[in-house]
Amino acid sequence: MAISTKTLLPIFVIQKLNSEKMAIKIGIIGAGPAGLVTALALEAYCKTDQTVEITLMDKNQSAMDYPGVEYGIQTRACLSLQRMGIKEEALACGLPAFRISFFNARTNKKQKFGVTIDPNLTVNVIRQEFLGELTNLLSRTKIHRQCNVKSIQASPEKVNVLCEDKNGQDESLAFDMLISADGIGSIVRKDYFKNENYIHNRGFYCLYMLINIPNDAPKEFKEAANTGECMIVLGKTTTATLFPMGKNRFAVGVGFDDQVQAEIWNVAGINPNLTWVELDVSQKQKVAELLASDCTFQNDMLTKCFQWVPDWNSYKIYLWKMRDSDVATRPYNEYHNVIMIGDAAHAIMPTIGMGASLAIEDAEMLGRQLSTQILKEKPDFKAAFQQYSSERVPVWIDLMERARAGAKLNFVGIRNKSRLSIGPQLPGRFFWKIVAKVEEWIG
Ligand SMILES: Cc1cc2nc3c(=O)[nH]c(=O)nc-3n(C[C@H](O)[C@H](O)[C@H](O)COP(=O)(O)OP(=O)(O)OC[C@H]3O[C@@H](n4cnc5c(N)ncnc54)[C@H](O)[C@@H]3O)c2cc1C
């Protein structure tokens, strides 16, 4: 087909304009859900502007370099991925979930009320697989792995990042803008948004396990692995969560407070000063068995599934100490083009399973706001930062409050409670508080 000069002219003009426009260099620290989705959002929304250069830096070698954890990717995140046109591909590795049920192991009965969820907008994924899918979707972002950011220096015009590469060599990179998606220990938050004591220990632990069951496992295990019903189980002194992950796998988390931890270490004959990573495999197995026997359901399902744990030292089994951080109510400042998203700005506990979903929603929104500016003749990044934070901060504050209430109601001091609370899981900014209050009052 012959192409007329009429068709060629606008293409030539756009290419010429693009070639004359200065490249905008955007650096992102952290290739977790927040960092990867920001890069994907910038790629999606700046499709027509090839002058944006995106660089992602992460200290880890790959997504596998991280302890075991599953994510319930919830409605807010699903909608963000949908807007970017990548929901199906990004979540292909997961299993849709349709319900959260509450089970009381002391009475051996399901609680009357549960929370119904939309399986089109709630998908359980394993972090490593999900991040792998997101990475595969990137097309023009440069990824620097094993790049440990040690410090940043920002002026109104530039942000310089000093990192250490895999050979221990220092490398300096310069950007027009830096997005901090480097999680709870964020170097940017520590250096640039100085605020002492913003990370808190919340007085409880969670042992996370990803269990692969064999094809010939009994029916109840296959159901737990492959149907989309999530369970929260009240034990005598612990609370277990069970998430089906599909492909004959489920994720189990057992939560217990500091007092129970000390008791378990004592019963297992473990030196009280030893942390999880210092335990040998037989001690790890013993701890898991003691926890599982506290929280029995479905004929001791938890204890029985340990026969399929091939390696107690694997990344699939990990004891998390629960911490959170205060919400950064101003995730940027006037003087530099540096902004924080995801756990760097608001690390919330997994008691309502929202951290990754919030990070994804932040990332898509920031990517969209920035792209609107980038496509303008004179981009105003501060306007994008301002819009982003005015929309996000109220959401972060609400969900932080729910996650803290979830910890208090369902994970800490469990031996004094007679039932689990569904309040923090319910939609509606005020409705959940009313339900949680009534539940607290009932006892
Ligand atoms: C036990 C547990 C269970 C959870 N369950 C859920 C759940 O069911 N649903 C849910 O939505 N959320 C859940 N979360 C929360 C979720 O893990 C976080 O909210 C989410 O990972 C935040 O994403 P992020 O990208 O902001 O940070 P991270 O996932 O922490 O990613 C930060 C990245 O930055 C990199 N990095 C850090 N510092 C540097 C540096 N100096 N230089 C270079 N790279 C750096 C890290 O290597 C990492 O890859 C859970 C958390 C825990 C601990």
Give the tens place of pLDDT for each residue, 409-428.
999 999 988 888 889 988 88
Q: With respect to residue 391, please indicate whether it lies within any of the assigned structural domains.
A: yes
Among 78, 151, 343, 400, the mutation site with the greatest number of ligand 1 atoms within 8 A of its Cβ is: 343
- Does residue 34 contact residue 181 with C-beta atoms inside 8 Å? yes
Distance of CA 378 to the CA centre of its chain: 34
Name the DSSP letter for residue 262.
Answer: H
Which is it for the CA torsion 54, 188, 397, 203, positive or negative? positive
Of ligand 1's listed atoms, the one at least distance from the Cα of 150 is 41
- Bridge partner list, 254: 207, 240
Amino acid at 359: A
- Bridge partner list, 26: 54, 177
Query: Can you tell me which residue has the tokens 């909608």?
Result: 79
Query: Can you tell me which residue has the tokens 């000069």?
Result: 5
End-to-end CA distance of the chain: 76
Q: Rounded to an integer, what distance in angstroms lies between the CA atom of residue 45 and that of residue 9?
A: 24
- Does residue 362 contact residue 352 with C-beta atoms inside 8 Å? no
Whether ligand 1 lies within 6 angstroms of the CB of 30 is answered as: yes
The three-class DSSP label of residue 251 is strand
Q: Which of 136, 129, 137 minimizes the C-alpha distance to 71?
A: 129
Q: Rounded to an integer, what distance in angstroms lies between the CA atom of residue 352 and that of residue 72?
A: 9
Question: Whose Cα sits closest to atom 5 in ligand 1?
Answer: 350
Q: Rounded to an integer, what distance in angstroms lies between the CA atom of residue 88 and that of residue 271?
A: 48
- Does residue 193 contact residue 42 with C-beta atoms inside 8 Å? no
- Bridge partner list, 173: 161
Q: Which of 353, 342, 399 minimizes the C-alpha distance to 251?
A: 353
Q: What is the CA radius of gyration of the chain?
A: 23
Q: With respect to residue 165, please indicate whether it lies within any of the assigned structural domains.
A: yes
Sheet holding 159-164, edge to edge: 148-154, 159-164, 170-175
Residue segments in the chain with a per-residue pLDDT below the cut of 50: 1-18
pLDDT of residue 33: 97
Whether ligand 1 lies within 6 angstroms of the CB of 320 is answered as: yes
Of ligand 1's listed atoms, the one at least distance from the Cα of 343 is 26
Whether ligand 1 lies within 6 angstroms of the CB of 149 is answered as: yes
Amino acid at 306: F
Q: With respect to residue 276, please indicate whether it lies within any of the assigned structural domains.
A: no
- Does residue 47 contact residue 37 with C-beta atoms inside 8 Å? no
Q: With respect to residue 409, please indicate whether it lies within any of the assigned structural domains.
A: yes
Domain that holds residue 337: 20-66+130-199+325-442
Q: With respect to residue 280, please indicate whether it lies within any of the assigned structural domains.
A: no
The three-class DSSP label of residue 265 is helix
Question: Whose Cα sits closest to atom 46 in ligand 1?
Answer: 30
Q: With respect to residue 33, please indicate whether it lies within any of the assigned structural domains.
A: yes
Q: With respect to residue 3, please indicate whether it lies within any of the assigned structural domains.
A: no
pLDDT of residue 112: 85
pLDDT of residue 42: 97
Answering whether pTM is above 0.75, one says yes
Query: Can you tell me which residue has the tokens 């060629």?
Result: 8
Among 69, 192, 425, the mutation site with the greatest number of ligand 1 atoms within 8 A of its Cβ is: 69
Total domain count for the chain? 1
The three-class DSSP label of residue 88 is helix
- Does residue 371 contact residue 46 with C-beta atoms inside 8 Å? yes
pLDDT of residue 313: 93
Whether ligand 1 lies within 6 angstroms of the CB of 68 is answered as: no
pLDDT of residue 193: 83
Q: With respect to residue 42, please indicate whether it lies within any of the assigned structural domains.
A: yes
Burial of 296-323, coded b for 16+ CB within 10 Å and e otherwise, reads bbbeebbbbbeeebeebeeebbbbbebe
Here the CATH number for the domain that contains residue 397 is 3.50.50.60
Q: Rounded to an integer, what distance in angstroms lies between the CA atom of residue 230 and that of residue 222?
A: 13
Q: How many CB atoms lie within 10 A of CB 281?
A: 13
Angle formed at CA 230 by CA 227 and CA 231, multiple of 5 degrees: 125
Name the DSSP letter for residue 181.
Answer: -
Burial of 186-212, coded b for 16+ CB within 10 Å and e otherwise, reads bbbbeebbeeeebbeebbbbbbbbbbb
pLDDT of residue 36: 98
**Burial tier of 438 (Cβ tally within 10 Å: 0-12, 13-18, 19+):** exposed
Whether ligand 1 lies within 6 angstroms of the CB of 359 is answered as: yes
pLDDT of residue 48: 74
- Does residue 309 contact residue 249 with C-beta atoms inside 8 Å? no
